Amino acid sequence: MKTYKISINDTKEFYKKLGCDSGGISILSKKSKLHTLYIKDLHVGAANILKQDALSIGADLAVPSGVIIARDKYVNAVLIGTTKHFETLSRKELAQPFGLKQLAAELKSYVKEHNYQTKIMGVLNANEDSFFKDSRFDNSQACQKIENMIENGANIIDIGAVSSKPGSVAVDENIELKRLKDIVDTIYKNKYYEKVDFSIDSYSPKVIDYVLNHGFKIVNDITGLKDDNVCKIAAKYNAQVVIMHMQNNPTTMQIEPSYENVILEIDEYFKNQIAKANSFGIKDIVLDVGIGFGKTLEHNLTLLKNLEHFSHFGYELLIGASRKSMIDKIVSSSIEQRLPGTLAIHLEAIRNGASIIRCHDVKEHFQAIKVFEAIDNIN
């Protein structure tokens, strides 16, 4: 007999290859993935009940000392268990008091599987103050840049005409549309939208309405649908909408950003904005935690490490950290030198649940992602 430790990603496929019967594959798969759930402000009564219920099925709840004697009314805790454990607890806690019924409903959302194809969103900027000069274009170069991106593996091309780098100032929507109009008309005339999906990086209703009427399918809104008119227009065209989180605005967002808990605050923001989108009839939603938009380095790293949390909403997750200053804060580097750091961030984001990667370097990302997927998919 010989043994070796293995890492399994696609557990169902692995057990199928192992020769397990079909009924056992589903059961074994649910026992193979471990979840660690942080619970904030849990009633001490709920903590004691949940602790005992978790232990009774082989899971566990980490709690502070003093819980057994109810020293504090509310505590923070960590629930540890497999998918099977979470499903069992989601049923057991439905009849329990102290808010456990709500927790039971939430447990189901954390273990629901979502399988999305990884997509590359290439970036093109029709403004002269974009922080990465190689993403800028004029109309004479645009067709070549678009064709190169398509050839290099882009699934989506995101076009914008207003800088959102820290300290940038908003631009009048008529100026924004003037910067974009010729290239949008060219995309429509040449039917590039039949080869790749086009996204508009804008929060201007006038701009969004124009591009959605000319072959664009996605609205990438850094304000997260703040403007009701954007919601109405997106719903009219049945467009996909990217809801991004940003603290404050581009002019002020990096002036001492602060959160009590960055994960929970962005979670609450998404909950509210999803409800708003749904109220206007928008169903096709992508979530973006907004790396670098009102976040310190620690906030960014925390979000990347815990990105899987946001999968519980059931929507695709987008990450865009391409050549951003957080890389310079880790390893001193100019914008032009940040491709390796960008790839490291984006591959880790894919591992943690992202399926759309917004980047400047399409060809390099295509190769990196294909190699990553080849390793990840081997069983």
Q: How much is the CA Rg of the chain, to the nearest whole Å?
A: 23
Provide the pairing of β-strand 119-125 with 356-359.
parallel
Q: Which of 193, 202, 194 is nearest to 241 (CA)?
A: 202
Is 358 an active-site residue?
A: yes
For residues 239 and 245, is the Cβ–Cβ distance under 8 A?
no
Environment class of 257 (CB within 10 Å of its CB; exposed 0-12, middle 13-18, buried 19+)? middle
Residue closest to 154 by CA, chosen among 135, 178, 179, 129: 135
Q: State how far the alpha carbon of 208 is from the alpha carbons of 180, 188, 232, 347, in Å.
A: 11, 15, 11, 31
Q: 30-42 burial, b if ≥16 CB within 10 A, otherwise e?
A: beebebebebeeb
Pick the catalytic residue: 30, 119, 217, 324? 324
Give the N- to C-terminal CA distance of the chain in Å, as an integer: 20
Q: Among this protein's residues, is 324 annotated catalytic? A: yes
Residues in a beta bridge with 359:
122
CA 224 to chain centre: 13
User: Which helix (DSSP H) or strand (DSSP E) does residue 343 occupy?
Assistant: helix 339-351
Which positions are annotated as active-site residues?
324, 358
